[in-house]
Amino acid sequence: QSQELSEVQIDYHAALQALVENGTRMVCTGRMHTDRICRFESLCYSTEAEEFVYFHSNSSVMLPNLGSRRFQPALLDLSSVEDHNTQYFNFVELPAAALKFMPKPVFVPDVALIANRFNPDNLMHVFHDDLLPIYYTMQQFSDLDLEARLFFMEGWSEGVHFDLYKLLSNKQPLLREELKTLGRLLCFTKSYVGLSKITTWYQYGFVQPQGPKANILVSGNEIRQFTKFMMQKLNISLEESSGEEYIVVFSRTINRLILNEAELILALAQEFQMKTISVSLEEHSFSDIVRLISNASMLLSMHGAQLVMSLFLPRGATVVELFPYAINPEHYTPYKTLATLPGMDLQYIAWQNTDREDTVTYPDRPWDQGGIAHLDKAEQERIIKSTEVPRHLCCRNPEWLFRAYQDTKVNIPSLIHTIRQTVKSKPGPKKQKWSGSLYPGKVRDAKCQASVQGTSEAKLAVSWQIPWNLRYLKVREVKYEVWIQEQGENTYMPYILSHQNHTFSENIKPFTIYLVWIRCIFNKNLLGPFANVLLCST
């Protein structure tokens, strides 16, 4: 036997012995299954049972230790889509002694990130549900570096966008089906299970009609850090726009078509005096599309997943989203929400076809391409007569699908008029520097001095120092907000002041205790924190 092989054998026996003696160790972050990510040592997976296995021994750890609440409804969400009941993660438990009777474990030496992709054939889902969450889950845990390996457990095949997933780590991602070829019992030396939801901005309408998430926690900065990483991996340089400005029309070639696209492209070129290029996922490579979009002044497209590519647009660019007849743009805003995230610095414009003459419907197509022939006659007629799809839940509403898969002859004067209401001169990256918005710290050394005049009048002189960070910043406008509250009262008097001191006399009574709250405001809308409350007795 070669030296190498025997070394592997020694390692194998050591690993097996560690598993038998130590069992599985799990420590998680998050209080609920919807915000939980777990780190494991020696988590195993039976490819026959298609179940994860947790081995109990004298040294195993399970935190949180939920008892049967682990099944109510699950330990955690395996995808970034919140609380979706097809995406739950759990494991079955065994004593480590059972390993004696089980297939010999195969050890996975790489640090693993184990998760589900949600819908890997749809580009919006790919970026929003998978790529961004995977990227930022890897940023959260330092041993999930470029040498980590991704394991996709949702059970799909690679899908058309698999090359994008491959950019996130140097190791080939593995799919659930491929695990069978590795062995009957796999044991992950170190693994993380679950995805961070911190970057997602949209909910798809599983429990309430679709819309922006209630509490968005991501800004354009983090989106752009991610796109910078992706572009480096795609070998696309972030060169300063090398001259000519242009418009990109992102077309769909299979369905939801723009019927007069050639005419539209000419009209845009004419109106904005810019070269106008058309791209599609069918006819261009992903890198070419990113390269073009990352220097474009305007991106125009029908509503659809391809519009998620606006995350590659440069700051200052304009996104124009076209909606087919009877689809209210306000009800479908994944791309509007993205474009208007703070710090994305994109202009967003929606245009809707409001003319029945300009739409082409496909009632006889299969239901998943918007056909309605399977519905009863009265329902078909109602849908055809309707002028707006009512709000609905995901994902099979036939009226929505019918309208979503219409083709549209774009009314060009109407579209240009809509764009012109927002884009007054030339669209595109402004030369001005986009200043990030920084918030003030607390005001410091707040003091008050009271003076009483007679039995009914009093004055309160309040002063404070600037927030500590202001001395290092250039801020256009600095104001202070002061609230004066009589102790024990629910109401207060608010003031906006420009200086660092003020003497208050209206409604100030003698022999009374006042609570004084002070905060700093930069540029009208950047509100800082209140300093500790100041107690002032007159």
| CB 253, min distance to ligand UDP, A | 5
User: Nearest approach, Cβ of 161 to ligand UDP (angstroms)?
Assistant: 8
**What is the nearest approach in angstroms of ligand UDP to the Cβ of residue 396?**
12
To ligand UDP, the closest distance from the beta carbon of 418 in angstroms equals 22
> Which chain residues interact with ligand UDP by CB under 6 A?
122-124, 252-255, 281, 304-306
Considering the complex, what minimum distance in angstroms separates the CB of residue 224 from ligand UDP?
22
Separation of CA 266 from chain center: 35
In the complex, minimum distance from the CB of residue 211 to ligand UDP, in angstroms, rounded to a whole number: 15
Cβ atoms of 191 and 111 within 8 Å: the answer is yes
Rounded to a whole number, what is the largest CA-CA distance in the chain? 104
Cα gap 65→61, rounded to integer Å: 9
| Amino acid at site 106 | V
Query: 355, 411 in Cβ contact below 8 A?
Result: yes
Q: Are 427 and 317 a contacting pair, CB within 8 Å?
A: yes
Toward ligand UDP, which CB reaches closer, 309 or 450? Answer: 309
Tokens 């095949």: give the residue.
Answer: 157
Q: Which is nearer to ligand UDP, 122 or 406 (CB)?
A: 122
Q: Tell me which amino acid residue 456 is.
A: S
Q: Which two tokens stand for residue 185?
A: 């019992």
Contact between 176 and 89 (Cβ < 8 Å): no
Which C-beta is closer to ligand UDP: that of 40 or that of 323? Answer: 323
Residue 370 CB, shortest distance to ligand UDP, in Å, is 9
Q: What is the Cα 71 distance to its own chain's centre?
A: 27
CB of 268 to ligand UDP, least distance (A): 20
Instruction: Name the E strands within 361-509.
Output: 407-408, 444-453, 457-465, 478-486, 493-497, 501-504
3-state secondary structure of 115: strand
> Closer to ligand UDP at the Cβ: 89 or 332?
332
* Contact (CB, 8 A) for 63 and 97: no
d(CA 531, CA 537): 18
C-beta of 184 vs 391, nearer to ligand UDP: 391
* Residue number, 161 or 291, with CB nearest to ligand UDP: 161
- Residue 167 C-beta: closest distance to ligand UDP, Å: 17
- Residues, the chain, total? 538
The side-by-side arrangement of strands in the sheet containing 275-279 is: 275-279, 246-250, 298-302, 318-323, 347-352
Give the C-alpha separation, 248 to 453, whole Å.
72
Q: Which is nearer to ligand UDP, 304 or 528 (CB)?
A: 304
Rounded Cα distance, 80 and 77, in Å: 7
Distance CA 283, CA 306 (A): 13
| C-beta of 124 vs 341, nearer to ligand UDP | 124
Q: In terms of CB distance, is 125 or 197 closer to ligand UDP?
A: 125
